[in-house]
Amino acid sequence: MKQDGKNDIIITITTDWERNDFYQGVLQGKLLSVSSAIRLVELSHRVPVFDYVHAAFLMKHSFKAFPEGTIHICMVNSESSGNQMLVFELDNHFLILPDNGMIGLIAEGNMDKAYSFPLDLESSFSSLNSVTTAVESIVNQSIFTDSALITTTFKQSIPFRAASDGKIITGSVIYIDSYQNAITNITREQFYQAQKERRFEIYLQSINYKISEMSNTYTDVEEGELVAFFNSVNMLEIAVHNGFIAELLSLEVGSSIMVKFFDN
């Protein structure tokens, strides 16, 4: 394992538990019992219950910010699907996930095998034990020998991508952040490949709400106005300057976003 710092083993945790849930203490206690060098980082405990798509977005766009060798644990929907916890290495990071399809959302369908840590189906919360075993195997570097099974059988959800015919890009909201800004699945690259310097309009749910100019940040427009820009992960984001667009326009994950280009 390669990590910066004083031999710390950084582990991030993402759950759909409440902060005061006793599962938090159980998981943290089990992990700290593996090694005194472990340093736990709360990535998020506010994932909507069972919403592994939301969790996958969080992890996909944040794990690379940590030092190489960091272990990233997700305990969202961990008991509701699959009979195993999966471990895989991506860009010199270790990710431990439930077998619920999110591996495909994070690795974008490019993972053909992973390490399997089976769940004890007689336990009421067996993923806690499986995660602990997985972390112990990574820390001791025994995961590369005989402590884990390699599996090619696991669920891989396919990221929902925006569609383009050269004149219209049809996308959707894939994430709503704490300020109710709406992040879409329309990428910077896809937008500019289709635009070719043409005039455009972005429609939010219907033609009644539209944006016809791309900004760089929220403050490029007057307070209360709609704004569109490409965010730090190069996805089209829709917001209201000092407002809450999801509440204002009843946007939610899956809401339609359309970009129409006009020939000059």
Q: What letters, b where the CB count within 10 A reaches 16 and e where it falls short, cover 106-117?
A: bbeeebeebbbb
pLDDT of residue 245: 96
What is the CATH code of the structural domain delimited by 163-262?
2.40.30.90
What's at 172, amino acid-wise?
A: S
Identify which of 88, 60, 73 has the alpha carbon closest to the alpha carbon of residue 24.
73
Averaged over successive runs of 10 residues, the pLDDT of the chain (264 residues) comes to 69 89 90 95 91 94 96 90 89 96 90 90 80 93 74 91 95 94 97 95 90 95 96 96 95 95 89
pLDDT of residue 68: 96
List where CATH 3.40.50.10790 sits in the chain: 9-151
Report the predicted TM-score, pTM, of the whole model to 2 decimal places.
0.87
Tokens coding 201: 């309009």
pLDDT of residue 130: 92
CA-CA-CA-CA dihedral for 138, 139, 141, 143, to nearest 10: -20
List where CATH 2.40.30.90 sits in the chain: 163-262
pLDDT of residue 6: 53
What is the CATH code of the structural domain delimited by 9-151?
3.40.50.10790
> CB count, 10 Å around CB of 100?
24
